[in-house]
Each structure stands twice: as C-alpha cells, then as structure tokens.
Structure 1
Amino acid sequence: MKILIDILHPAHVHFFRNFIAEMKQRDHQLCITARQKDVTLELLREYGIEHIPISEIGKGKLNLGKELLTRNLKLIKICRQFRPDILLGVMGPSIATVGALLRIPRIVFYNNENAHATNWFVYPLANAVVTSSSYARKITGNHITYQGYHEYAYLHPRWFTPNLKTLAANGIDPKEKFILVRFVSWQASHDVGEKGLNDKVKLVQELEQFAKVYITSESNVPEELKKNVLLLQNKKDIFDIMSQAALIFGEGATMASEAALLGVPAVYVNSLQLGYLQEQERNYHLVYNFTNQEQGLQKAKELLQQKNLRKEHQQRLDTLRQEKIDVTQWMIDFVEKFSLPGTPKVDV
C-alpha cells in the first residue's frame, strides 16, 4: 500500500512516528509531507523521518487561507507523482480537499471539537473521521471511534519508557523537584477568540515558591522569564523530562493530556475546553481543567502541598491503562483493513 501522511504540527509527528516505522517494516511505501510550525521539522529530522516540507504556518485568518491554498497545490503535485492509495492526517484540511478532488481515499484523525473553521468542511469530505470515544460532539458522516487518546499513540508503555539520563543531559538535577509550565502561540485556527494565562510572570513567581520552574513555549516569553526557559538538547527529550515533573501547568491541551498519560498531575488553563481532557479529569482525576489563571493557580498550590501526590496519580494512571488501548496498533489494523465503500470492523 502507498500511504501519504500530511503533518501539520509537532504533536502530529509523535502521533504518526511509530505508525510510520511499523508500516515501513510491513513493506508499505510512505510519503510524508510537512508544515513548518514550531519544532515540527526538527522533530522529523531527530526521528530520522524523511519528509517534504510544503508550507509554513500563516499568521492570522488571511495568511492561514493563503497557506492552505499553497499547500493544496503542492500536495496535488506530490499526489500525482507518488500516486498514493490513501491519505492520512490529523485535522486534515489539505488531505480532505485534495483527496476529494483527486478521488483518493482519505482518513482524518482528530480530537478537537472546537476547530469549527476546519471541521465544517473537512469532515464531510473525509471517507472516515477517526476520534477518541471521548469526542464530545456529533460528527455527520463515517465517524469511527477508539478507546484511547491521540497521545497514547506514543506514550503507551509499549512505545515509551522514560530515560532518566536525559534530565542531566538537559541541565536538570534528577533529584530536584521541578514544575514544567507550557505557553502556546495562539496561532492555530481553533485558537481564534480563545484565551489562557493572563499574567505569566506572576504565575511563575507563585509556582517558584514550591519548586524550580522550567518553561517550554511556542512563542517568546517576557524578559523576566527567559532564565526559566528550558533549552532542550533534543526536542524529543521533552517526554523524559515531563515524566519526572512534580506538576505540569499551562495553556497547551496536548501537553496536559501527555502529562496525564505519564501519571503527572496537569493543570490546564484555557477557554478552549476539550472532550478528552474533560474525560481525563472526570474519569481519572489526572487533569484539572480551568478557564482562568487564578483558579488554576489555586488548584496547583493545593496539589503541590499534598503528600503522596505522585503515587496517587501513578495509581490513577494504572486504572486508565486498564481501560485504554494501544492507539498505534489500532491505527495499523484499521488502515490495513480500510476499504471503500464502508469501513472495516477492527478487533482490538
């Protein structure tokens, strides 16, 4: 099978990387197209994944629209050369439109119910829209669900074991207590009109009363906080570091879910509320969702003063692991059995 995967975001690299490796071992041919956003291309290089950059993220609605047009034109050319049997992607604005135009089957994976600007046209064009069972909106069309989360495609125990040597290599004392804070860029189409942290300096100062604070950010940070920015030796080292944090606090939904799947308490502050994070709070008490900084900060302080905090969250993670599947293996089975019209029933 010839498979084209379109990658738009750093998290998509992680989502697909094990799938890519496994499908190559099964003698499938793959073509990876990519978008320059944050550290996407750096991650692809670190993982040794051959790829074709075809666009750079636009800033603002107008430039995002221009980028989509440029991206689609380049993707059409690549599809005509590679002649894929199927197109895969997360969010999928380009694979949905190009696939429909060229009549190539397309599967869209997604986990964001609030990306209205893209979901309204992408979902009807997809042959299958694949989401976690936690997805909180009805999808018209061929909606396929699985018992897991996007982040479990790379943080399931089959695919990830923490390497504690990574901490020292990145200047972190493995014995020290530390908090990881995440800031986002607010450039995504689904970020329009949303908000998160309103006083980053105050936040970090308050958290520093409990532990060393490291910052990871998609955009520039205030001058006072530059000393806290975590300068990674390799971008892929972030999961080893996250796994040892006392707490993860931030605006990023993906990192909050990743923390949950590592058994690390996560405080998520963002007006954008998502089904998978709400489930991780409601069913497992691994994530704490808030829409304003003060409420989130108060919860963080409570957590940081609890005894056996890490042990309790690791026990909650054990419960989650009993109920959720290896998403990468599910993807392999689903894609290999996918056919038109209709979709297969995949036993996992």
Structure 2
Amino acid sequence: MRVVFEIKHPARVFMYGSVARILEERGHETLFVHSGRPTALRLLERMRLRHVPLPPTGGSLASRALGTLANAGRLAGIAKEFRTDFMVDGVSSALVSRILGLPHLFFFDSEPSRLVYLLVAPLTRYFVHPSSYRGPRPPGKAVEVDASKELAYLHPRRFRPSDEVFEYVGDKPYALLWKNTFTASHDISHYGFTLGEVVEIVRGLRELGLRVYAGSEGG
C-alpha cells in the first residue's frame, strides 16, 4: 500500500512519522507532502522521511483558499505519480482523494477550527477524533479513539528521552518561547504578542534568573 501524508504543522511530522515507520516496517511505502516550512522540513529530513514540498498557501482567507486549490492540483499530480492508495490529513488531500476516488483519513481535535471541519467533513472517509473532542462529527464517518495525538510520538514505545539535551541547555532552569506564524485558518483575525511585548517578556524571564530559548514555527 502507498500512503500520502499531508503536513500543515510541524507537530504532525512527529505524529505521523511514527505511523509511517510502522507502515514501512510492514512493507508499505509512504510519502509526506508539506508546505515547505523550515521547521517541518528539518524534522522530515532528520527523521529520514520521504517528502515533497508544496508552496505555502498564504495568511488571508482569500489567498489561503486560492492556494489550497492550486496545491490540490499539484497534489493530484504527485498522488498519481506515486500511485497512491490512501491519503491522510490536509484539506487539499481530502479534495484530491475525493477526485481520485481514494480513501482519506483526517484526524481532528480542534473545536475552534470550524472552517476546516466544514471543508473536510464532506470529503473525508474516516474522521478520527479523540474521546475528549466535543465538536461536531460527520455521521457515519466518525471514529473515536481513547487517546490523544501526543501519544503518537510520546508513547514509551516511540519516545526515548535523551540526556544529550543537557549538553545543550545544562541543568539550570530555563524558559522556552515559541512563535506561531498565525497562518492557519483558525488564526485568521487573531494576533500574538508584538515585538515590544516579546522583549518585555524575555527581560522579565531573565530577571527571574531563567535562560531564554526562542523558536519559531516558520523557521
């Protein structure tokens, strides 16, 4: 079986990376398509997962809609060339799977992402959600799992903590700041901290004696 995973967020690399490894161990082939975010790209390469980039879809609702349609066309070509049997996640892959007559699975656990639900629910075949999910479910498609997506990569069978991290951060207290790109559909009209506010936060954390590490979803 040949499976295509569409990645929109770096965390999904961790989530589906473990699934891909299990499938490959059983003789199946996998391919990841992603939006080219540097963080996701580094994770895919570090985990040695086969991948193909797609152009980013933009931040506004209009540019995201046009970008999603354009990427669906590109993804259709990729899926045909890969001779895909099954597709996982992503609005574009949900549309492509319907056009190509392929089964599609979508994992959903975000009640605020109403637009994503409205787009994907009519197209996907398997709507997988955790038991904690309290949002709408498409009739006849919902599959409830008594777990969370974090277990896909933090379960003891898949995750082994490494002491190497102490070589980098030491054993002193520290703080981690993470910058969201705010380009997801559920981020429209939402904003994060300003640069000035971030500077004040960092200054305050340092005054508490914490070493501050900063990361970004986009790079």
Q: RCO higher in 1 or 2 (8 Å CA, sep ≥ 6)? A: 2
Distance 2:118 2:35 in 1: 22
Structure 1 distance, partners of 2:79, 2:22, is: 22
Report if aligned partners of 2:33, 2:54 keep a CA contact under 8 Å in 1: yes
- CA distance in structure 1 between the partners assigned to 2:191 and 2:33 by the alignment: 30
Once residues 11 and 117 of structure 1 are traced to their aligned partners in structure 2, the CA distance between those partners, rounded to angstroms, is: 20
Structure 1 residue 37, shift from structure 2 partner: 2.2
Find out whether 1:138 has 2:136 as its counterpart.
yes
Could you tell me which amino acid in structure 1 is paired with residue 73 of structure 2? L
Alignment match, 1:78: 78
Which stretches of structure 1, 4 residues or more, deviate above 3 A after TM superposition?
A: 195-198
Q: What residue is the counterpart of 1:149 in the other structure?
A: 148
In the TM superposition, residue 56 of structure 1 has moved relative to its aligned partner by 2.4
1:137-172 deviation per Cα after TM superposition (whole angstroms, max 9, x unaligned): 12123111112211211011211122121332x3x2
Q: Name which of 167, 178, 181 aligns with 1:185.
A: 181
Q: Residue 72 of structure 1: SS of its match in structure 2?
A: helix
Deviations 1:50-80 (CA, angstroms, capped at 9, x unpaired): 1111222423223222221221001111222
Which blocks of at least 5 consecutive residues in structure 2 are unaligned?
none
User: Equivalents in 1 of 2:124, 2:165: separation in Å?
Assistant: 40
> 2:106 is matched with which residue?
108
Cα distance in 1 between the residues matched to 2:44 and 2:109: 22
1:221-280, Cα deviation, whole Å (9 max, x unpaired): xxxxxxxxxxxxxxxxxxxxxxxxxxxxxxxxxxxxxxxxxxxxxxxxxxxxxxxxxxxx
Residues in 1 aligned to 2:76 and 2:206: alpha-carbon distance in whole angstroms: 50
Q: Distance in 2 between matches of 1:157 and 1:38?
A: 28
Q: CA deviation at 1:38?
A: 4.2
Q: Which has the larger radius of gyration?
A: 1
- Inter-partner Cα distance in structure 1 for 2:191 and 2:70: 29
Matched pairs, number: 215
The equivalent residue for 2:25 is 25
Task: Tell me, yes or no, if the aligned pair for 2:57 and 2:68 is still in contact at 8 Å.
Answer: no
Unaligned runs of 5+ in 1: 221-348
Displacement of 1:193:
1.9
Offset at residue 117 of structure 1 (A): 2.2
Please report how far the alpha carbon of residue 36 of structure 1 lies from its aligned counterpart in structure 2 after TM superposition: 1.0
1:289-333 CA distances to partner (integer Å, 9 max, x unpaired)?
A: xxxxxxxxxxxxxxxxxxxxxxxxxxxxxxxxxxxxxxxxxxxxx
The alignment partner of 2:136 has SS state of coil
Q: Output aligned runs, 1:171-320, within 5 Å.
A: 172-173=169-170, 175-197=171-193, 199-210=197-208, 211-218=210-217
Task: Report if aligned partners of 2:59, 2:188 keep a CA contact under 8 Å in 1.
Answer: no
CA contact under 8 A between 2:9 and 2:40: conserved in structure 1? yes
CA RMSD of aligned residues (A): 1.9
Contact conserved, 1:85 with 1:104, CA < 8 A, in 2?
Answer: yes
Relative to 1, partners in 2 of residues 1:38 and 1:123: Cα closer, same or farther, differing over 3 Å?
A: farther
Specify the code of the residue in structure 1 equivalent to 2:173. K
